[in-house]
Amino acid sequence: MSTSRGITADRQIAALKPTASRYERAVAGARGLCLIVYPTGTKTFVLRYVAVGGERRRLPLGRTHLCRSLGTGRRSDAIRQARLVAADFERALRGDPRALLKRPQIACEAPNGDLTLNAAHAAPKPPEKTLRDLLTIFLDDPVKARGDKVRMIYNHTIPIVGEVLGMDTPLRSIDREACRRLMDMLRWLPTNSKKRFPKMTAVQASEMAKAKKLTSTLGYAAINSYLKCLSALMNFAVNEGYIDRNPAKGLRVVDPRHRRDRRLPFSNDQLRAIFNAPLYRGCVDDEYGYADVGSARPRRARFWVPLIALFSGMRMNEICQLDVADIRRLDGVDCFIVTGRSHGGTDDKKVKTSTSERFIPIHPRLTELGFLDFVGERRRSGSVKLFPELPLSTTGYYSDPFSKWLETSHTLQRIIEMPQSPYVEIALRLLSPTSLAWEQPTYCREVAARLRSDGEHDLAAQLDQAAHKPQPWLGGSAAV
């Protein structure tokens, strides 16, 4: 660590570059105030003083940014504020014990004229924030609006986290070891533990599951979601200056499954099973009799939402929240308009990001099935929503109730158990627009043969055809 002549101008601060080791630069005209430059590029103002009893101490004025530590929004304001802090500190050194009373972060350990602390005039130190306090501040932070679903997630996950860390534990007392204890508890926590074991705490349920070697425990994604929520809270605490570092940073469990095997697409046979169900061929009704063969052919959300998803690729909530006015003709083409603006005078629609707003042409197959006729009927009836029978959930999404029905429907329950060829994913990659399947025909034929043995005949035929696709710049065929 080294020191040099004092800093007198803003440009000198900006010109300081990080080196392999940290170094200091004194601030001219402010006794004890200096700037530390770390190898990472972080620049921190530090106040050096002698406390009661002669102990030499230093007080960091900011661990990340000067503007953040001094409560300002811009760097130029922070520089001016730093000069005022230095001036007040100089007054205290010259014998004015009240000079630092308006700066509680310094006044609690401010030196007097003899470089010793005058405790009689020290401001009381504010109480440390707890995990409970942090959750309230985080959710009510006006800087970033947090929706009902986010609030529900954090209000559910953090109390379970608090059973290990303690909701009333000071944030500075939560260390990496405590976060690892939380991770170990989550690894054995049974699914739906509150419903299955209502008389047990999460910690007790986890210990019981570990002792009995239960297999119905949280999955890797669920465990990481708890750790992600905790890490987000701790990042917020660091940014607000409550703690110096995030003890949960980078903490997660590794899913041993290969990434491509975690969520496989539906096979052709599975899609046939879905769209050949009684709901699409004739059922009793689309309420409780949707899975029973009958003469009714209802045309409501349960019929159209899966079909729209199949032929448009839209997200489920984007489909479920559609207004009738969102079906428009643009330049002679009928389109879905995906937008967060509602036409019913309410604020009930959501999009994932601002770039999610778009228009999607309606597939001709949907038109053949009568979708535009269905839209016309809704428009003539004066309905605002395209699917008025779908309720808005407490989380603010129309898709939540529909998703629960779809996951528990008889059709999906049957196809979930249908085996899917492990070569489906390989074939889909080979058939992607950016793939050059015709450059590796032997490999394509091997994959196609295995697909046929697994019953995926349509996909195998598509792969055979792609393997013999003519080369666009040569006009020939792939080598055999």
pLDDT for residue 476 is more than 60: no
Residue 478 lies in a domain: no
Q: Does residue 472 lie in a domain region?
A: no
Q: Could you tell me if 457 and 386 lie in one domain?
A: no
CATH number at residue 238: 1.10.150
Q: Which of 25, 21, 41, 23 is nearest to 33 (CA)?
A: 25
- % of the chain at pLDDT higher than 70: 71
- Give the position of tokens 């528990």: 408
Residue 372 lies in a domain: yes
Out of 61, 95, 121, pick the residue that ends a domain.
Answer: 121
Residues 437 and 360 in one domain: no
The reply to whether 218 and 291 lie within a common domain is: no
Question: What type of residue is 70?
Answer: L
Measured CA to CA, the distance from residue 171 to residue 88 in angstroms comes to 30
Is 14 contained in some domain?
Answer: yes
- Domain count for the chain, please give it: 4
**Does residue 183 sit in the same domain as residue 99?**
no
Per-residue pLDDT of 441-474, as tens digits, reads 777 777 777 777 767 777 778 777 776 655 443 3
Residue 416 has pLDDT above 60, yes or no: no
Are residues 135 and 105 both part of a single domain?
A: no
pLDDT(104) > 70: no
Across the strands, what pairs with 23?
37
Q: At what angle do helices 220-239 and 176-187 cross, to 10 degrees?
A: 160
Co-location of 114 and 188 in the same domain: no
Residue 59 forms beta bridges with which residues? 47
Co-location of 97 and 51 in the same domain: yes
Give per-residue pLDDT as tens, 267-320: 777 788 888 888 888 888 877 787 788 888 888 888 999 999 989 989 999 999
Query: Do residue 246 and residue 219 come from a single domain?
Result: yes
327: left (phi over 0), alpha (psi -120 to 50) or beta: beta
- Domain closes at, from 97, 121, 145: 121
At 383, list the tokens.
Answer: 């309905």
425, pLDDT greater than 70? no
DSSP single-letter state for residue 197: -
Which is it for strands 56-60 and 327-330: parallel, antiparallel or unpaired?
unpaired
Minimum mean pLDDT range among 42-51, 107-116, 177-186, 443-452: 107-116
Same domain, 211 and 324: no
**pLDDT exceeds 70 at position 119:** no
Nearest to 154 by CA among 229, 223, 218, 228: 229
Q: Give pTM, 2 decimals.
A: 0.53
Q: Is residue 5 part of a domain?
A: no
Q: Residue 336: in which H helix or E strand, if any?
A: strand 333-338
Q: Can you tell me the distance from the alpha carbon of 432 to that of 141, in angstroms, rounded to the nearest whole number? A: 44
Among residues 135, 165, 162, the alpha carbon closest in space to that of 150 is found at 135
Residue 54 domain flag: yes
Torsion angles phi and psi, residue 38, rounded to 5: -95, 160
Looking at the fold, whether 250 and 345 belong to one and the same domain comes out as no
The domain containing residue 54 runs over which residues? 10-121
Higher pLDDT, 158 or 480: 158
Query: Does residue 476 lie in a domain region?
Result: no
Q: Read off φ and ψ for residue 293, nearest 5 degrees.
A: -65, 135
217 and 276 assigned to the same domain = no
Assess if residue 19 is contained within a domain. Answer: yes
Q: Which of 95, 121, 147 is the last residue of a domain?
A: 121
For residues 83 and 136, state if they share a domain.
no
Separation CA 70–CA 79 (nearest Å): 9
